[in-house]
Chains A and B, each alone.
Chain A
Amino acid sequence: MNRFTARHILGISTLSPDEITFILDTAESLKDILERPIKKVPPLRGKTVVHLFFEPSTRTRLSFELAAKRLSADTVSISAKASSVVKGETLIDTARNIEAMKPDIIVMRHPHSGTPHLLTKYVNSAVINAGDGTNEHPSQALLDLFTVREHLGHIDNLKVAILGDILHSRVAHSDILAFRKMGAEVVVSGPATMLPSRQSEVLGAKVVLNMEEALKDADVIIVLRIQKERQGQSLIPSVREYAMFFGLSPDKVKLAKPGALIMHPGPINRGVEITPEVADGPYSVILDQVTNGVAIRMALLSLLLTKG
């Protein structure tokens, strides 16, 4: 029964395939609660979850908060501004102050990679990484795995195509690691400015410049949100050109297997990385992903707080 020993959820990189399966199974059993008229169960009564967000977020934060509330935990939410000065005392002092109020879990989002890892050195609470810089977004990858498993019955041996800004996307990083760990083939594609230079492989995923090649016979297509500006650098000439050459349109979807799942971490830029027809089409599971996000986060909270 001791299949889950992680103290924190910092990234997919630190989870074993067994642990991932256990999280998915737990989420599956908790998902029912979301369909009930009274959507609340008591396992985390008396536990406190602090949501510490150094970056704006609507869906991830709402999803984590709802997950905690469904399990009867007390939740507090803090929006903070990441310090840009070269002094770390602010973050560490904030962490120590929060810790002094005895929370059980800190859910953190931060614009700098590795910050949740730093946090674990200063607090006794469990830490969940809700997105750190361009590193990882593990709960997103877990809900993506969950959604694929729910619709296709398995994950191993599927071909997953991930399209867009692979280099600067924490969703892409976590998804690649997660689908690879669960035995899927992953191919990534996008403008070369958004792919690692001169690499044919990234974190175990195949890198191809030709989008058709990436899509060919894919079982799952994950479209990433295009960020128009990144650190003041424009990685694409224009949104219009991106939509023309890299956006997912119905004719491109035809290259994939019939019935291939269309996924997107949201919020979508309609008409940019994905056309409305595809986003709203029969095989789009974009809103299922959102629902499943709550179940996955309930699983993470309950696993971290009820073990041992």
Chain B
Amino acid sequence: MNAYLFTNARIIDPSQNMDFTGDLLVRDGIIAAVGESLDVPQDVRVLDLKGKWLVPGLLDMHVHLREPGEEYKETIESGTTAAIAGGFTAVACMPNTQPANDSAGITRFILEKAQSSARARVYPIAAITLGQKGEQLTEFGDLLNAGAIAFSDDGLPVKNAAVMRQALEYAQNFDALIISHSEELDLSRGGVMNEGRVSTILGLKGIPAAAEEIAVFRDVALAELTGGRLHIAHVSTKGSVEIVRQAKSRGVRVTAETAPHYFSLTEEAVFGYNTFAKMSPPLRTEEDRLAVIEGIKDGAIDAIATDHAPHSVLEKECEFQAAANGIIGLETAIPLSLNLVRDGFISASRIIRCMSISPSKILGVPGGSLVDGNSADICIIDPEAIFTLTRESLHSLSYNSPFLGKNLQGKAILTLVDGRPVFDPTGLLLS
């Protein structure tokens, strides 16, 4: 197999507290050496990465690949193609497919499909309850044996607190992680955007921040009660950040993620009845947005995940109230996250941590690190590159992004999985 020497890159690997300008050698698909100035071996392809960042291949712990069942929105192949184009070498896919990933057979199907068509690593997340109905637990042990890496009913909360308690308890036999979509359904019912000033102006039914915070608090209390390992998905409010922060300080086994849209946009994006700004939880206020950024900074929030949720025109080109929740995110995560670095909110190292070693530790999967001997899953970023997000530039089958038509700065220019250049649009290693 080929060997590559990347030189003069800004190498950021938070797993080893590395952030320096230097070289990295890939040989036979693994990371062979990292250092400030490596010798150039014979027979090696050298690529000068002056001004570029070399970081561990990113892991998105929250995506919807839509296969099986909704292949017109996305497939494992198209979704992972979008992933590598966005700098991600691995994704964890949510179980709300059709049918839901609630049995070992579906998990195996996803992994077999990934084996034959995926461009990045795929880690299936299985449902907590059968059919995501919130009633009967799925077979955690069997699902884990089949390759599932965590459990979530994402898209829906587990409404019954006793069932959530059971899940957090039973999961401990397998040291499994429970990922919560925290939403109090009675309070959010009928709501289509954040409740507040903008919902009043637009005459749309709002979802109060309390609908999320009550559920986050409930799940934190259940994690505390049971000792189970809990991860809060897509944190969007100031109150949720604070609940997680306090829980951590008490030693509760809880982690949390947010999505780039929650620190990039506010409810204002809904003006014009823009269905590309409709998602669950909804975009919140400026105060919430700043609190989410503060949470990333101080560690209340552990991970940045995109909640990549492809939908076709059928679900989005319609009345706001009838439109489906969700936006795509894999191909905009890097520029949106880098905005926080450029604006001086957060260090580059902290951002990369939230997208690499941190989610891989939470999920207990390999990767997220440039340590010698690891598989060479690598992302190379041009932090200065400016591009316009267009339907044509996207690799996802869907284009439901509120950033469509916008100029974004910072992008992956080369992505390697197992040392193979799986995304190399300008032929840096191919020509």
Q: Do A and B bind each other?
A: yes
Contact with A along B186-202 (1 / 0, CB 8 A): 00011000010000111
**Which residues of chain B are within 8 angstroms of A167 by Cβ–Cβ distance?**
200
Interface size class of B (residues with CB under 8 A): 20 to 34
Q: Tell me the minimal C-beta distance from B69 to chain A in angstroms.
A: 15
Contacting pair B202 A135 (CB below 8 A): yes
Give the nearest-CB partner of A54 in chain B. B319
Flag whether A1 is at the interface (Cβ < 8 A). Answer: no
Flag whether A110 is at the interface (Cβ < 8 A). Answer: yes
Flag whether A51 is at the interface (Cβ < 8 A). Answer: no
Give the nearest-CB partner of B190 in chain A. A231
Q: Tell me the minimal C-beta distance from A287 to chain B in angstroms.
A: 28
Contacting pair B315 A86 (CB below 8 A): yes
Take A170-B203, A202-B200 as given contacts and tell me if A113 and B314 are in contact as well, using a CB distance cutoff of 8 Å: no
Q: Tell me the minimal C-beta distance from B189 to chain A in angstroms.
A: 8
Contacting pair B208 A114 (CB below 8 A): no
A12 to B314, CA, bound (A): 30
Flag whether A87 is at the interface (Cβ < 8 A). Answer: yes
Contacting pair B203 A196 (CB below 8 A): no
Take A134-B203, A135-B203, A170-B203 as given contacts and tell me if A113 and B320 are in contact as well, using a CB distance cutoff of 8 Å: yes
Flag whether A284 is at the interface (Cβ < 8 A). Answer: no
**Which residues of chain A are within 8 angstroms of B319 by Cβ–Cβ distance?**
88, 91, 110, 112, 114-115, 118
Flag whether B321 is at the interface (Cβ < 8 A). Answer: yes
Q: Tell me the minimal C-beta distance from B161 to chain A in angstroms.
A: 22
How many of A's residues come within 8 Å of B, CB to CB?
31
Contacting pair A133 B321 (CB below 8 A): yes
Contacting pair B318 A91 (CB below 8 A): yes
Q: Tell me the minimal C-beta distance from B211 to chain A in angstroms.
A: 13
**Which residues of chain B are within 8 angstroms of A197 by Cβ–Cβ distance?**
195, 208
The one of A84, A91, A114, A231 in contact with B202, judged by C-beta atoms closer than 8 angstroms, is A114
Interface residues of A (CB under 8 A from B): 13, 83-89, 91-92, 110, 112-115, 117-118, 132-136, 167, 170, 173, 196-197, 199, 202-203, 231
Interface residues of B (CB under 8 A from A): 189-190, 195, 200-205, 208, 272-273, 314-324
A-B contacts, 25 of them at CB < 8 A, read A13-B201, A85-B322, A87-B314, A88-B318, A88-B322, A89-B314, A91-B318, A112-B319, A112-B320, A113-B203, A113-B204, A113-B320, A114-B202, A114-B203, A114-B321, A117-B272, A118-B273, A134-B204, A134-B205, A136-B203, A170-B203, A173-B203, A196-B200, A203-B200, A231-B189
